[in-house]
Chains A and B, each alone.
Chain A
Amino acid sequence: MDAVRCSVEYLSEFSDCQSHSVRVIQDGVNLFLTRGDRDVLIFNIQERRVTTVMLFEASVINLALSDDKHRLYALCANGGLYCTPLPPQLSSSVRVNKSPDSVQYTVPDDSIVLKNASLQAFTIVEKILVTLSLHKSVWSFDLYEEPGSRPLHKLACFQVVTLNTCCLNLTDKEKSVSSPPVLTCIYPEGSTSVSTDQSDLRPHLEPHLFRLLFGVDASLVNSPVILCGLPDGRICCFPLLVPTLAGPTGEQRSPVRVLQSLEQPVVFIGTCISGEHGPQCLVAVGQRGKLLIVRSKQASMEGKKADYSFNEHSVRGPVLCACVDDKRLYYSSLNDLHALQLTTTSSSEATGTESQLQALTSDSLGVCRAIALAGPYTNPTGSVQLLAVSLSGRLLRVNLPQGSENVPRLPSSLAGQRVKDLLASIANIWERAESLKHKLQEKNESLKHLNQVINVCSLMLDNHGNEKVCNMGTKRPISCCGVARWSSLLQRDSLTLTCVLENSSGCTLEHGWTLCIQVHPLSKGPNMEGSSGTYSFPFMKLDSGQKLDVTIPLESTGGLSLPVKVYCSLVFSLSALFSPEASSPGVSQLLTEMGSISAPLSTLTVDWLDALRLDGSFSNGNIRHNTVTDGIQTFLRSRGAITRDSDTTTKSGPITVMVRVSSQLLNTKLHLSATSSTERCMSVLNWLVSPEERGQMSVQSPVVCAYSPDGCSVKLLVKEVTLGDFCSDGPLEVLEIRVESSSVAAVCGLHHAILRRLQVLLRDAAVKCVHTKQLKAQSLIEAVRHVESLYEDLQDAQNQEALGGTMKTNKNSEILFRIFLQLRANPLVIL
């Protein structure tokens, strides 16, 4: 809580970075950024946008700008060093604001200036390109003329042998990937006048220490010195602009000197603590947290020669990146960004290292996972700013307030513990709050759901009550209706029922509802046990106004058995109230198999009429012929060339049954507007065959030829006859509905279906029928007699059978059949 307060701004966000290859260079408002892929982004800090994307041939390892800032050098993973001119608008002070889009620029492959697979690092100093390459365990520094011709003019080459003590088990490649060498140039102070504005950014040292560290020659010539931190921990240095000098014994000696070894990969080398004549110490940071500070020791009074001292300290590693300003070293471990106060204790050297260690306390800045740093620079308001790139690819600007070192601080060990505790308790509370919130939400959901279900149920119960009233009229809010259709699947025609569940209510049918359709055949044949079945269709959601279409087969394993009753209902399972991942198993445990609500929707009947296949709608070829012989027989039969003995029906030609209905009755019931008799016939026939299309006439003649589901041809006829002797009031107009077919089953089925339809039609109307006809008793008596005689015949037949099997069953059935036909052939008139 007493740590240095710093504010962090997010400037931009890029994709994830690879921690070892992120490089950031800042040049004025432009930031050059590479994330270890093939792009180099040029980011404008003021406009906070990427102005240019440079696409290189291979992933970029390192970046540098030329001295005049007009060219960008990039070292790529393919060992190529590319030099590409920067877009002109970057360097010009007058910015064109016209281009808001970032420019993509592919660096051509001929901009490669140097290709050497063993290239590890490079830097550009004073128009000299310094490269470092590792080849066969020899580090070699090569110097080239910078804006030179291609191939570059090599100026010199120095070599250093690698220490193979610490990289025994690592190959050169692995080693270099894990920690590339660091090249830094340190200028003698006198040469800062070359570039005035950037002078504070150039690392330099006060002349005294510079001379002590790098020798008389470099300081006399004012040569910059290249310092190199090798992955094996050694810090090498050589003066850049000094000719190869003679050694003390006259021979040529290598200018490269090893200053010190950190014994861990070097991450950063810089200078800091500004004194009267420039920075007073050289700082080097190792990857595992070793910090080396080189200071000069003043020549003491006794005339002892002046010397410099190496002080080693430890900070908590791993150190990913670092930078320095006047007084502080900023370094990033993975967890945090630290600011380390460096002190000028060169005078109190005698007190020993203990006091120095105490002085080195670092402040946490609370910025984690920074993997690259640029800056620091002081903005006009006086605060210090750092640019950092985090591991997740965020570009951050860290503003450090001035004078933060005056804030009283907890001892670092205590502060750390305290922060840990606080963080832990925050995490606990957060966890609890989160789980409570979750439970509450769950319960709310369940209640909402239940409410909806109850709503839907009451809606349906309401319908149920006045079903009789508005059977056909007003549309019910939730309805289900079905249509039987023939469909052809895999060369086989089958009868299917398409049910449409329509939700025209205001409620939404939520998850948990199921549409249940039960199918029961009305006739129970010997082989019809398995034919009744239940189909259920759970659905996720049915909004108001939406429809759900389901199709079920009506034929079961036992074949088609008509008529069929279909019960539709909506079922809601209460267990659906509780989502499967719900954390309250208690309630759902109580709901066992009984936990469901079932609301009946509608009952449908599918009869022979529904299953008729009208002539027009099917071609002859589609009529079911199970085998070839069937087909042949049909053919022969039609030609009359074959006499059947198995089927009794064919002997006596087509069987005919008829139903007679008073046409006046039908007129009122069906609200027929037709006047002529043929029209009336057609509309009645239409009502029978396709009841759902009342408006238009699908039947154009009073005769309909169709095929029954078992493939026999059926003829339906409606005609109007006048029965003169039937009614006392005069001749009675009667519609005669006649079914003709060679198949007994079809005739029976259709007859039954027609009667059922009429029954349904007339059921509720019977009461209202005030008008009674004066029937002629004579004809009624005749009819009754006829029926009675038939009844007697039937009884005889029954008795004979009961008396003993003397009569052949064949004969018996023939008798019964005859009775049946006579009963049907001359029916009573339905008034």
Chain B
Amino acid sequence: MSFVPCLVDRWSEENNSIILTWKQNERGLEPNQNVLKRCCSESRKLLQKIQGIPAATERLELEMTVSYNTFLFSLSFSNASEIEESLTHSLLRALEAAGSQVSCSDPVQLWEAVLQTLGSSVYVPYVHKLLLIQWMLWLMQCQLERVLTLLMQTDHKNVFHSSAPVNLQTETRNLALSMEEDSSLMVAMTAKDLKDLLHICTVICQGVEQMKMEKYSEALDIFQEAKGLPSPRSLLAQIHTLPGQSFAKLGQPHCALHFYRKAVEVDCACHSALYQSALVFRQLGNPKAEMEALHLLYSAVQLHSDKSSSSASLVSLATLLGGEQMTFISRVPSPSLILHTLAHTCVFNGSISDGVEYYLDLLASLQSDGKDLIHTGEGASFPRIPVVYLEAGFALLKAKRYSDALVVCEEVITSTLDFIPERLLLDADEKQNVADSDVVLENVDFVLWAGAAHLLQAQAHWKLKDTKEAITNFTRSINNLVKVLIKQKDWKQKHLGNTEAMVERMVTLEAAKGQALAGRGFCFLERGELKEALRDLHLSFQMTPGSHIKMLLSEVLWRLDRREEASAHWREAYSTSDAPKSVNVPLYLQLWPDDTAFDFSELKKKMVEYIQAKKT
């Protein structure tokens, strides 16, 4: 058998050359996925060759090293069960070489046998390498109990006097694996590196499990432990983000923010930290900071999507932490949803010009490429498309781009036209099942969108000083909105058939009606048709009482020479402070200070004079 050592030498050389190729690629600036693939297939072939002849102790070191390398290479290309199968095969061969026959395929028993047989031999470093692979596979499947059992088997002492409660944390901390490296047999990743990576990932996995069970303080303890461990940079940011999330859940937003800031300091592209901090800022009512965070997040996401996502690292965190865990950790909504949130926040908080730009970007991305849209963000859903259009129209209106606003609203009108029912009778006493009520709600939505679109168009026309067109559109809006009839008198009261969603719709509908009527009344006032103006403003006041309308009413009455009534309204309006901004209605129906662009100074003067005169 003189050829055997020769073969061993040749195979070792082959293994080393594969590893050298890989190392060279890893050091390069542009790690290439193809190189990894080639290394994987070559290494697999080599392993096949080695396993083609009966197992023997003189080749055991080589075989186990090549197995270890092959498994690392094939992580990206095959699933865990395949790797586990070949790992079992390798272990059985190792046992065969050592002369003991074990036929069971249960991994736990197999490992027990392997560690007993080879546990005190020169092969320990190699056995421990394969043990790391097993640990990795179970971690990928989130089977932490099995990992614990495996690690306990490695440390014989603990098995015998396990008086202290067995804990994965302590076990991993105290784990003593033989990490010697043999320079003649190269490996793709040293056992120490892999062990460190596995250690930190196991800890994070545990923490995430605790968070899922809503045991946030326990999770914080675990993450505290994680901070002391060596870890790769991208993971370091997560190590900060996760305790931040726990703190946020525990009601300590400032602590959370502290951690998020740390995370961003470590890795400026940490999406989840940015997103989470935006959420905290909203909670804290700091729109400026929220906008900034969202803006950062959006640019980071865009950068990321531009970059090609082919990472050529050997063991990626995404594979180690499994699919579910990773999505939990780096949960970020889709770019389009981020953009919408950003735009909405901007417009809502008054930075109109930014908001308009964001809305236009959003509309463009909706029209052009859909791939970003498809991406489902967990938990958060995108608003209906007509709503986005209406919001964009509203923003354009506020940014004084009236013709653009008209165009955008026209889109909504044409698209909803077919769905507007002749009339929609809402009978609260009638019991409706969920599906029916959904259909009804959707129909109400159509009516509302069409009405709001007409309303926005009317406002645009009015701003363009085209009062006639404005009146037409206000009328259309009103005609649309009154199609919804409510049988019950007091619809605001919660009722069996009156769900929260329905009440919300009703409030919005009333607000829209009020605005439309007020708008038309105001137009009539401008045109001098005072009777119509008085009727509309009265109706509007019934819908949405407010000081602004009261003042307008007083103006109309004054002009109609009903001075007493006018002064009464004036006094009422003057005594009540400005109505607070109605938060409950959608963005596109928000009232704006510049809507009251009516010069009341003259009326004020007259009123003051009139009241003075009366007094005297």
Residues of chain A at the chain B interface (Cβ within 8 Å): 126-128, 143, 145, 149, 153, 155-157, 208, 211-212, 216-217, 219-223, 240-253, 299, 302-306
Contact B374 A241 (CB under 8 A): yes
Complex alpha-carbon distance, A251 and B438, angstroms: 12
Contact B415 A156 (CB under 8 A): no
5 A-B pairs with CB atoms under 8 Å apart are: A145-B371, A212-B418, A220-B415, A221-B373, A245-B385
Contact A128 B371 (CB under 8 A): yes
Contact A220 B389 (CB under 8 A): yes
Beyond A220-B366, A306-B419, list 11 extra A-B contacts (CB 8 Å): A143-B374, A155-B375, A156-B375, A156-B376, A216-B386, A217-B385, A222-B367, A244-B381, A304-B421, A305-B418, A305-B421
Contact B384 A245 (CB under 8 A): yes
Are A220 and B419 also in contact (CB < 8 A) when A128-B371, A156-B374, A243-B336 are? Answer: no
Q: Mark B440-458, 1 if CB is under 8 A from A, else 0.
A: 0110011000000000000
Nearest chain A CB to B552 CB, angstrom units: 32
Complex alpha-carbon distance, A409 and B417, angstroms: 44
Are A302 and B382 also in contact (CB < 8 A) when A126-B370, A149-B33, A216-B416 are? Answer: no
Nearest chain B CB to A569 CB, angstrom units: 76
Pick the contact of B373: A241, A302, A304 (CB < 8 A). Answer: A241
Pick the contact of A245: B366, B375, B381, B441 (CB < 8 A). Answer: B381
**B334: A residues at CB distance < 8 A:** 243
**A145: B residues at CB distance < 8 A:** 371
**A128: B residues at CB distance < 8 A:** 370-371, 374
Q: Mark B389-404, 1 if CB is under 8 A from A, else 0.
A: 1000000000000000
Pick the contact of A220: B373, B386, B438 (CB < 8 A). Answer: B386
Pick the contact of A302: B33, B377, B422 (CB < 8 A). Answer: B422
**B416: A residues at CB distance < 8 A:** 216
Give the contacts of B264-313 with A (CB-CB under 8 A). 309-310
**B415: A residues at CB distance < 8 A:** 211, 216, 219-220
Nearest chain B CB to A159 CB, angstrom units: 12
Complex alpha-carbon distance, A252 and B377, angstroms: 11
Complex alpha-carbon distance, A184 and B446, angstroms: 29
Nearest chain B CB to A186 CB, angstrom units: 15
Contact A249 B499 (CB under 8 A): yes
Complex alpha-carbon distance, A248 and B412, angstroms: 17
Chain B interface residue count: which class?
A: 35 or more
Complex alpha-carbon distance, A156 and B381, angstroms: 13
**B418: A residues at CB distance < 8 A:** 208, 211-212, 299, 305-306
Residues of chain B at the chain A interface (Cβ within 8 Å): 33, 309-310, 334, 336-337, 366-367, 369-371, 373-377, 379, 381-386, 389, 411-412, 415-422, 438, 441-442, 445-446, 499-501
Q: Which 4 A-B pairs have the closest CB atoms?
A: A241-B370, A248-B441, A243-B382, A306-B418
Q: Taking chain B's interface residues, is the majority helix, strand, or loop, or is none over half, making it mixed? A: helix
**B379: A residues at CB distance < 8 A:** 252
Complex alpha-carbon distance, A208 and B376, angstroms: 28
Contact B386 A217 (CB under 8 A): yes
Complex alpha-carbon distance, A223 and B374, angstroms: 11
Nearest chain-A residue to B33 (Cβ)?
A: A149
**B412: A residues at CB distance < 8 A:** 220
Complex alpha-carbon distance, A306 and B419, angstroms: 6
Nearest chain B CB to A746 CB, angstrom units: 79
**B384: A residues at CB distance < 8 A:** 216-217, 245-246
Nearest chain-B residue to A247 (Cβ)?
A: B438
Nearest chain A CB to B393 CB, angstrom units: 13
- Total A-B pairs, Cβ < 8 A: 110
Are A245 and B383 also in contact (CB < 8 A) when A216-B416, A299-B418 are? Answer: yes
Complex alpha-carbon distance, A217 and B366, angstroms: 10
Complex alpha-carbon distance, A352 and B310, angstroms: 60
Nearest chain-A residue to B483 (Cβ)?
A: A303
**B374: A residues at CB distance < 8 A:** 128, 143, 155-156, 240-241, 243
**B310: A residues at CB distance < 8 A:** 149
Contact B411 A220 (CB under 8 A): yes
**B419: A residues at CB distance < 8 A:** 212, 216, 305-306
Nearest chain B CB to A204 CB, angstrom units: 16
**B445: A residues at CB distance < 8 A:** 248
**B417: A residues at CB distance < 8 A:** 306
**A247: B residues at CB distance < 8 A:** 438
**A240: B residues at CB distance < 8 A:** 370, 374
Pick the contact of A221: B33, B375, B385, B441 (CB < 8 A). Answer: B385
Contact A242 B33 (CB under 8 A): no
Complex alpha-carbon distance, A145 and B310, angstroms: 14
Nearest chain-B residue to A307 (Cβ)?
A: B418
Complex alpha-carbon distance, A247 and B419, angstroms: 17
Best-surrounded residue of A220, A246, A247 (most CB of chain B within 10 A): A220
Contact A303 B438 (CB under 8 A): no
**A249: B residues at CB distance < 8 A:** 438, 441, 499-501
Nearest chain-B residue to A300 (Cβ)?
A: B422
Pick the contact of B438: A244, A248, A302 (CB < 8 A). Answer: A248
Complex alpha-carbon distance, A245 and B382, angstroms: 5
Nearest chain-A residue to B366 (Cβ)?
A: A221
Complex alpha-carbon distance, A305 and B499, angstroms: 25
Complex alpha-carbon distance, A249 and B381, angstroms: 12
Complex alpha-carbon distance, A244 and B417, angstroms: 23
Complex alpha-carbon distance, A208 and B414, angstroms: 10
Complex alpha-carbon distance, A242 and B365, angstroms: 11
Nearest chain A CB to B298 CB, angstrom units: 15
Contact A246 B382 (CB under 8 A): yes
Pick the contact of A246: B367, B371, B383, B446 (CB < 8 A). Answer: B383
Nearest chain-A residue to B386 (Cβ)?
A: A216
**B375: A residues at CB distance < 8 A:** 155-156, 243
Contact B386 A243 (CB under 8 A): no
**A212: B residues at CB distance < 8 A:** 418-419
Best-surrounded residue of A153, A208, A245 (most CB of chain B within 10 A): A245
Nearest chain B CB to A562 CB, angstrom units: 77
Pick the contact of A244: B366, B369, B376, B441 (CB < 8 A). Answer: B376
Complex alpha-carbon distance, A211 and B367, angstroms: 16
Nearest chain A CB to B344 CB, angstrom units: 13
**A149: B residues at CB distance < 8 A:** 33, 309-310
**A157: B residues at CB distance < 8 A:** 376
Are A243 and B373 also in contact (CB < 8 A) when A149-B309, A216-B386, A219-B415 are? Answer: yes
Contact B371 A127 (CB under 8 A): yes
Nearest chain B CB to A208 CB, angstrom units: 7
Nearest chain B CB to A702 CB, angstrom units: 81
Nearest chain A CB to B36 CB, angstrom units: 12
**A245: B residues at CB distance < 8 A:** 381-385
**B309: A residues at CB distance < 8 A:** 149, 153
Complex alpha-carbon distance, A242 and B385, angstroms: 9
Complex alpha-carbon distance, A241 and B336, angstroms: 12
Best-surrounded residue of B371, B420, B445 (most CB of chain A within 10 A): B371
Nearest chain B CB to A295 CB, angstrom units: 14
Complex alpha-carbon distance, A252 and B337, angstroms: 14
Nearest chain A CB to B569 CB, angstrom units: 38
Contact B422 A304 (CB under 8 A): yes
Are A220 and B385 also in contact (CB < 8 A) when A128-B371, A240-B370 are? Answer: yes
Complex alpha-carbon distance, A223 and B369, angstroms: 9
Complex alpha-carbon distance, A252 and B381, angstroms: 6
Are A250 and B422 also in contact (CB < 8 A) when A155-B374, A221-B366 are? Answer: no
**A252: B residues at CB distance < 8 A:** 379, 381
Best-surrounded residue of A216, A217, A222, A244 (most CB of chain B within 10 A): A216
**A153: B residues at CB distance < 8 A:** 309
Complex alpha-carbon distance, A153 and B373, angstroms: 14
Complex alpha-carbon distance, A126 and B371, angstroms: 9
Contact B382 A155 (CB under 8 A): no
Nearest chain A CB to B147 CB, angstrom units: 25
Nearest chain A CB to B442 CB, angstrom units: 5
Contact A223 B370 (CB under 8 A): yes
Nearest chain-B residue to A224 (Cβ)?
A: B370
Nearest chain-B residue to A157 (Cβ)?
A: B376
**A242: B residues at CB distance < 8 A:** 370, 373, 385
